[in-house]
């Protein structure tokens, strides 16, 4: 019983894996800018953008703890935190980096 209590306390204190490192962007602000061209605003583009951002966010958030730290660190840095930061861009970066880890090329002389 003692061991199980210790395990529970350790898990409780640890919290979710990498939850603090998960980036928080402004998808609605990003999509508003994305949907505005020369001062003209498109509700269709905005809704499309928000849908894509939500789908990317959900997919990344669900698997965040499974990605290697080198991938998440690089991609979060690559995407940044400015107004152009996007969960869809983060998702593409993670996908590309994960594929590159598997198929790492070598140079031959």
Tokens of 103: 């198929």
What is the total count of domains within the chain? 1
Q: Which domain holds residue 27?
A: 18-102
Phi, psi of 41 (to 5 degrees): -105, 140
Mean pLDDT by 10 residues, the chain (109 residues): 36 40 94 93 96 98 96 96 93 96 89
- Decide if 5 is inside a domain: no
- Decide if 108 is inside a domain: no
- Decide if 50 is inside a domain: yes
- Decide if 41 is inside a domain: yes
- Residues 65-104 as b or e (16 or more Cβ within 10 Å = b): eebeeebbeebbeebeeeeebbbbbbbebbeebeeeeeee
């Amino acid at each position: 019983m003692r061991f199980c209590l210790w395990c529970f306390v350790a898990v409780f204190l640890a919290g979710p894996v990498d939850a603090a490192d998960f980036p928080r962007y402004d998808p609605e602000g990003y999509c508003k800018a994305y949907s505005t061209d020369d001062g003209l605003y498109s509700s269709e583009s905005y809704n499309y953008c928000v849908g894509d951002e939500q789908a990317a966010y959900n997919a990344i958030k669900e698997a965040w703890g499974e990605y290697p730290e080198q991938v998440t660190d690089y991609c979060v840095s690559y995407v940044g935190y400015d107004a152009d930061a996007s969960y869809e861009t983060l998702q593409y970066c993670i996908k590309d980096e994960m594929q590159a880890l598997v198929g790492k090329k070598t140079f031959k002389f």
